[in-house]
């Protein structure tokens, strides 16, 4: 056997002189697991040096290391924790020394035990037992616990809500270094959901809480229904906390009552936001939210946004909007939203006064999949160098969002897909057509400590059926700016067309954008990013002779905060002829 030794030398006179951690094993993974479980080493890293604290941690060290040994299948380990040569467990609590200069921890793991017997009975129809729960496999405590948990969960998934472990026989044979594990399960009867009892509500109506939870009275018990009910209530944003508790007793003949306990949020919420780009200008936003407008979970949101303040091209744009959302409309997983918005756009090649109103039904299919369907009317008065145009259309937007990211603000792994198809019926000079767009994002963390994250994004957009001049101007595609190509001015890439005998700039009906980022976590809070963005627009099809492209690249810094990383990007053009010089972007959250 080899001996792994690690000594920590303190840099302060107030700290411990030395902490030794010795493991009598050549297994590096085991040593790492023990070090990670060590209470003393964790406190030493945090700079705790008071003698009483050290002794408290030393007494907790035995159980922490023993659990780590059991988790790796070692059941005959010997652990010693010495404080200045004296076993910590033998030091009387009321006779503790005033100073401790040397902590020595020794661990002899002993042999690794194997399972001689691995039995859980009775089992549900489709048990999902851990693969390591079998004779001859390492007798890791987590595997045994996982087998017991899987058996109970399997019975509960079949409707046996009161399934429990009724007996367990765990016997270690130290001479043979084996462990026998026999577990008995008592499934209990198949039960149905009883009436939902509501507690803790104040402004929220009780009947709406039941409607939103959507727990099916009289249906066979399924723990997944409990999880979905809690998720629905949390999605409303009305509650600080939501807890669902099963009754201890069964209501005859086979009903299980459920109690939901809620704690409500404050009804009103204010938020402000800002983003800055050197050429695109400043963006300011403000929102006022009422979480529970009429006592049924209705969310009223009033918002205002000013963009392109101080931009190098065009002028300041503003948007004013109001939206009300009602959860549990038609089904517990469907919400109804009504929205109204007016905006003034002062772009480089046109001005627009736009008003729109619409209704949207959003349905949550699962934790990761959401669908939406809407009906919207839009009126846009456009003024450009040629004259004035008025676009009017009725649209039916349909969309799906599949979000498998581990974080919405700072993803390290997973994928995100958002797709929308919007047929529209034009009136007056507006053509009939279909606008489509697709946003694909992927994230992957690399390395043992996963400090490097590769993030990629692909954006596609196309308009079919409508001519370029017959498409609402704000539906056309441009490239450039923080949302498409950093390093290029906002919406700087369009197309030139001949209209009324004059050349005028306009958006395109096909767009492709791609971005690639390498995100390196330098410290716990500080991150560095390198990125490249590419954008292309075309008329009549992708990658044809009418199109053009541009690209930008740069470096960025991220600083982690409680609401997402603070972002600073420096970018410059590396392709195309739409921009020149360095651009600066400042905002909250990753670029995508």
The CATH number of whichever domain residue 239 belongs to comes to 3.10.20.310
> Is pLDDT above 70 for 4?
no
CB 558 within 8 A of CB 519: yes
520 token code pair:
């390196």
In a domain, 289, yes or no: no
pLDDT band at 11 (very low <50, low <70, confident <90, very high): very low
Rg (CA), the chain: 32
pLDDT band at 8 (very low <50, low <70, confident <90, very high): very low
pLDDT band at 94 (very low <50, low <70, confident <90, very high): confident
C-alpha 136/C-alpha 117 separation (Å) is 8
Looking at the fold, whether 9 and 146 belong to one and the same domain comes out as: no
In a domain, 444, yes or no: yes
Residue 518 Ramachandran class (φ > 0 left, ψ -120 to 50 alpha, else beta): beta
In a domain, 19, yes or no: yes
Domains of the chain: total: 4
Q: Which residues contact 143 (CB under 8 A, 6 or more apart)?
A: 130, 132, 133, 137
Helix (H, G, I), strand (E, B), or coil: what is residue 209? Answer: helix
Residue range of the domain that includes 82: 4-108
Strand pairing partners for 181?
118, 170
In a domain, 338, yes or no: no
pLDDT of residue 211: 96
In a domain, 342, yes or no: no
C-alpha 211/C-alpha 546 separation (Å) is 54
Looking at the fold, whether 251 and 141 belong to one and the same domain comes out as: no
Question: Strands, E, within 60-191: which ranges?
Answer: 78-83, 86-87, 102-108, 114-121, 164-173, 178-186
Looking at the fold, whether 51 and 138 belong to one and the same domain comes out as: no
pLDDT (tens digit per residue) in 102-115: 999 999 999 999 99
Looking at the fold, whether 365 and 413 belong to one and the same domain comes out as: yes
pLDDT of residue 500: 67
Cα distances from 40 to residues 59, 87, 495, in angstroms, run: 9, 14, 66
CB 504 within 8 A of CB 349: yes
> Is pLDDT above 80 for 181?
yes
In a domain, 542, yes or no: yes
556 token code pair:
């960025």
Query: Residue 501 phi/psi, 5° resolution?
Result: 80, 0
C-alpha 104/C-alpha 86 separation (Å) is 9
Strand pairing partners for 23?
4, 107
Among 375, 357, 359, 363, smallest CA distance to 400 is for 363
Looking at the fold, whether 65 and 204 belong to one and the same domain comes out as: no
> Is pLDDT above 50 for 441?
yes
pLDDT (tens digit per residue) in 34-46: 999 999 999 888 8
**Strand-strand pairing, 18-23 and 102-108:** parallel
> Is pLDDT above 80 for 7?
no
Looking at the fold, whether 581 and 507 belong to one and the same domain comes out as: yes
> Is pLDDT above 70 for 13?
no
In a domain, 281, yes or no: no
Mean of the per-residue pLDDT values of the chain: 92
Looking at the fold, whether 207 and 64 belong to one and the same domain comes out as: no
292 token code pair:
């529970």
| Mean pLDDT, residues 225-240 | 95
Among 108, 104, 106, smallest CA distance to 77 is for 108
Helix or strand (DSSP H, E) at 518: strand 510-521
Q: What is the CATH number of the domain that holds 402?
A: 2.40.160.50
pLDDT of residue 15: 52
pTM of the predicted protein model: 0.81
pLDDT of residue 3: 44
24 token code pair:
């009598």
**3 vs 78, more confident:** 78
pLDDT (tens digit per residue) in 388-429: 889 999 999 999 999 999 999 899 999 999 999 999 999 999
Looking at the fold, whether 72 and 146 belong to one and the same domain comes out as: no
pLDDT (tens digit per residue) in 453-477: 999 999 999 999 999 989 988 899 9
Residue 150 Ramachandran class (φ > 0 left, ψ -120 to 50 alpha, else beta): alpha
In a domain, 329, yes or no: no
Looking at the fold, whether 155 and 259 belong to one and the same domain comes out as: no
Q: Which of 139, 170, 186 is the last residue of a domain?
A: 186
Looking at the fold, whether 571 and 470 belong to one and the same domain comes out as: yes
| Mean pLDDT, residues 534-559 | 94
Looking at the fold, whether 405 and 518 belong to one and the same domain comes out as: yes
Q: Which of 126, 157, 186 is the last residue of a domain?
A: 186
Looking at the fold, whether 368 and 510 belong to one and the same domain comes out as: yes
Q: Which of 168, 186, 204 is the last residue of a domain?
A: 186
């Amino acid at each position: 056997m080899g001996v792994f030794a690690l000594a920590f030398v303190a840099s302060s006179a107030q700290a411990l002189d030395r902490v030794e951690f010795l493991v009598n094993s050549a297994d590096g993974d085991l040593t790492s697991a023990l070090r990670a479980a060590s209470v003393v080493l964790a406190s030493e890293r945090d700079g705790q040096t008071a003698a009483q604290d050290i002794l408290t941690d030393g007494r907790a060290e035995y159980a922490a290391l023993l659990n780590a040994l059991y988790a790796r299948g070692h059941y005959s380990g010997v652990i010693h924790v010495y404080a200045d040569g004296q076993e910590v467990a033998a030091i009387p609590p009321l006779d503790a020394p005033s100073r401790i200069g040397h902590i020595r921890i020794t661990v002899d793991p002993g042999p690794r035990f194997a399972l001689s017997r691995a039995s859980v009975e009775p089992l549900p129809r489709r048990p999902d037992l851990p693969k390591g729960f079998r004779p001859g496999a390492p007798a890791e405590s987590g595997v045994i616990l996982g087998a017991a948990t899987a058996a109970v969960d399997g019975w509960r998934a079949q409707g046996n809500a009161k399934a429990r472990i009724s007996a367990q026989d765990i016997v270690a044979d130290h001479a043979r270094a084996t462990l026998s594990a026999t577990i008995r399960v008592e499934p209990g009867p198949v039960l149905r959901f009883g009436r939902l009892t509501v507690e803790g509500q104040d402004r929220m109506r009780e009947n709406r809480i039941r409607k939103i939870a959507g727990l099916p009275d009289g249906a066979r018990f399924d723990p997944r229904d409990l999880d979905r009910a809690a998720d629905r209530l949390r999605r409303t944003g009305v509650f600080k906390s939501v807890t669902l508790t099963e009754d201890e007793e069964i209501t005859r003949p086979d009903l299980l009552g459920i109690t939901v306990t809620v704690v409500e949020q404050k009804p009103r919420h204010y938020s402000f936001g800002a983003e800055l780009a050197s050429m695109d200008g400043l963006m300011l936003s403000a929102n006022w939210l009422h979480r529970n407008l009429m006592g049924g979970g209705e969310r009223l949101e009033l918002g205002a946004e000013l963009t392109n303040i101080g931009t190098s091209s065009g002028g300041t744009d503003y948007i004013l909007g109001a939206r009300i959302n009602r959860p549990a409309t038609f089904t517990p997983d469907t919400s109804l939203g009504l929205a109204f918005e007016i905006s003034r756009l002062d772009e480089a090649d046109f001005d627009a006064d736009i008003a729109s109103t619409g209704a949207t039904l959003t349905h949550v299919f699962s934790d990761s999949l959401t669908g939406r369907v809407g009906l919207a009317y839009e009126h846009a008065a456009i003024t450009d160098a040629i004259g004035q145009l008025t676009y009017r259309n009725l649209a039916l937007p349909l969309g799906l969002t599949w979000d498998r990211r581990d974080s919405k603000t700072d993803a390290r792994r997973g994928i995100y897909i958002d797709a929308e198809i919007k047929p529209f019926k034009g009136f007056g000079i507006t053509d009939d057509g279909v606008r489509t767009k697709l946003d694909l994002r992927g994230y992957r963390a690399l390395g043992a400590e996963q400090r490097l994250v590769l993030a990629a994004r692909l954006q596609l957009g196309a308009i079919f059926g409508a001519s370029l001049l017959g498409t609402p101007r704000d539906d056309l595609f441009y490239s450039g700016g923080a949302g498409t190509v950093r390093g290029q001015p906002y919406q700087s890439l369009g197309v030139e067309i001949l209209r009324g005998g004059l050349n005028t700039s306009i958006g395109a009906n096909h767009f492709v954008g791609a971005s690639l980022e390498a995100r390196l976590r330098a410290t716990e809070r500080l991150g560095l990013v390198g990125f490249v963005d590419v954008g292309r627009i075309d008329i009549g099809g992708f990658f044809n002779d009418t199109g053009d492209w541009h690209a930008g690249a740069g470096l960025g810094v991220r600083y982690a905060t409680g609401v997402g990383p603070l972002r600073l990007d420096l970018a410059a053009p590396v392709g195309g002829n739409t921009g020149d010089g360095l651009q600066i972007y400042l905002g909250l959250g990753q670029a995508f």
